[in-house]
Amino acid sequence: MGQGFEKVFSQYGALLSRVANSYEANEAMQQELLQEIAIAVWQGLSRFKGDSSVKTYILKIAHNRAVTHVASQVKRVDTHRYESEELGSDGYISSQHSPEAVSSQQQSLARLLKAVRALPLQSRQVLTLSLEGLSYDEIADVCGLTKNHVGVILKRAKHAVMQEEHHAQ
Amino acid sequence: MHSDKNNQQGGDALSDLWQTQPTNTIDVSEVKKSFNSERVKQRFYILIDLILLLPPFYLMYLAWGEMTFAAKALCAFMVITALPLLMYQLWLRRVAAFTKDSHTLDHLKQFTHQIKNNIRIAFITKHSAWPAFIILPLFVLERHLAGVLTPEKWETIMIAFPVASVIIIVWGVWAHRRQKRFEKQLAALQSMADDAANRR
């Protein structure tokens, strides 16, 4: 199991990290959530029966773990402080740097991440799964929605994110 | 109406941007370590839950023949309330240790249910603390009426009572804090679940 697990991580490690990034703004918290997700995936892989692709299966586990993590964070009084201190920087673009030093793509990415994290849970999930290239059927399977609902939610989520982008420009 | 192809085309620019974000690396050795220690921890908790029940049973076994009817009734009451609670606790530990691969809506429902259970357990734990202030004096009264309390035993009781009281108060406060923490978690979860349900 150990080797299979490492193979899955080398293939999907970045994907899992992006899931963590969509739930947590602070870099330390992202790393913590990523480790939690990794443990959950390790546990889950032993029960994988091949009913879906490995990617869909681990994304399902990762999002469930992230939901649990977010709910559990209410006991940590410093979570909001963490977020408010770093909001806008997202751990990637430091507010210490001058705007000139930050590339346009990095600014767009920071705005995208901020807008994604501001979305309600389901919209965030549907949008990020879509950005990872999952089909409507696969997204519906992960979220427990119908294919039509996925379409509706995705359209609204994209609209909300694009509006944020327009406001920023 | 919404084809996968449209989804792909519409999301291309965003998707490309999304994929450029820096990612963290998974510390595999740390994951292995955490996975193993978590498994050991869960087993240890289950063992502790079971072991904690043994001393009272052993003491009851030793002293059952010398107990009056009232003392036996008090012991029986404590066992009857403690056993179902223990079974429930063990079931919850098993559920908590099991990784969920259900879809998110199901996970939200299950997790919400689990947090509600945790609130109930914390509530029961909290309210199992103060009856000790009644049960302990009742035991002493029963022993006194049975005429087995010597002055030396009274001295021991005078020391044991304040110690037991402090333990019971700490126990009650701890359970109250746990209950409040789980209530906050539940509020956060319900807001997520409501939001998800409203969008269906």
Is B8 contained in some domain?
no
Which one is predicted more confidently, B143 or B2?
A: B143
CB–CB contact A34 B30 (8 Å):
no
Co-location of B76 and B168 in the same domain: no
In whole angstroms, give the CA distance from residue A91 to residue A71.
22
Q: What secondary structure does DSSP assign to A54-123, as a single string?
A: HHHHHHHHHHHHHHHHHHHGGG-TTHHHHHHHHTTTTTTS-TTS-GGGS-HHHHHHHHHHHHHHHS-HHH
Q: Which of B99, B116, B144 is a domain's end point?
A: B99
Contacts of residue B145, defined as CB under 8 A and 6 or more positions apart, other chains included, come to none
| pTM above threshold 0.95 | no
Co-location of B86 and B109 in the same domain: no
Co-location of B117 and B39 in the same domain: no
Task: List domains and CATH numbers for chain A.
Answer: 1-91 (1.10.1740), 100-169 (1.10.10.10)
Co-location of B92 and B180 in the same domain: no
Q: pLDDT of B93-102, one tens digit each?
A: 766 666 556 7
Co-location of B72 and B106 in the same domain: no
Is B27 contained in some domain?
no
CB–CB contact B20 A105 (8 Å):
yes
Q: Which of B99, B129, B150 is a domain's end point?
A: B99
Is B164 contained in some domain?
yes
Co-location of B58 and B151 in the same domain: no
How far is residue B93 CA from its own chain's centroid? 8
List of chain B residues whose C-beta atoms are within 8 Å of the C-beta of residue A154:
2, 7
Q: Which of B99, B129, B144 is a domain's end point?
A: B99
ipTM: 0.78
When pLDDT is averaged across residues B125-144 and rounded to a whole number, the result is 82
Is B165 contained in some domain?
yes
Is B29 contained in some domain?
no
Residue labelled with tokens 């999907």:
A12
List of chain A residues whose C-beta atoms are within 8 Å of the C-beta of residue B102:
60, 64, 144
Co-location of B54 and B143 in the same domain: no
pLDDT value at B173 more than 60:
yes
CB pairs under 8 A between A and B: 163
pLDDT value at A77 more than 50:
no
User: Which candidate, B136, B118, B134, places its Cα nearest to that of B175?
Assistant: B118
Co-location of B107 and B197 in the same domain: yes
% of residues, chain B, pLDDT over 90: 4
Average the pLDDT over each of A49-58, B22-31, B47-56 and give the range with the smallest value. Answer: B47-56
CB–CB contact B106 A120 (8 Å):
no
Is B16 contained in some domain?
no
Q: pLDDT of B49-74, one tens digit each?
A: 788 778 778 878 888 888 888 778 87
In whole angstroms, give the CA distance from residue B35 to residue A43.
8
- Tell me the pLDDT band of A74, cut-offs 50, 70 and 90: low
Q: How many domains does chain B have?
A: 2
Domain that holds residue B164: 100-200
CB–CB contact B104 A122 (8 Å):
yes
Is B17 contained in some domain?
no
pLDDT value at B29 more than 60:
yes
Cβ count near B81 (within 10 Å): 12
Q: pLDDT of B9-23, one tens digit each?
A: 445 788 888 998 889
Co-location of B115 and B196 in the same domain: yes
Which chain A residue lies closest to B105 (C-alpha atoms)?
A: A144
User: Which candidate, A68, A104, A109, places its Cα nearest to that of A90?
Assistant: A109
In whole angstroms, give the CA distance from residue B191 to residue B187.
6
Asked if A19 and A63 touch (Cβ cutoff 8 Å), the reply is yes
Co-location of B119 and B192 in the same domain: yes
In whole angstroms, give the CA distance from residue B86 to residue B170.
21
**Stretch 2-21 of chain A: residues touching chain B, C-beta under 8 Å:** 2, 5-6, 9, 13-14, 16-18, 20-21
In whole angstroms, give the CA distance from residue B7 to residue A130.
8
Co-location of B67 and B118 in the same domain: no
Co-location of B118 and B154 in the same domain: yes
CB–CB contact A35 B30 (8 Å):
yes
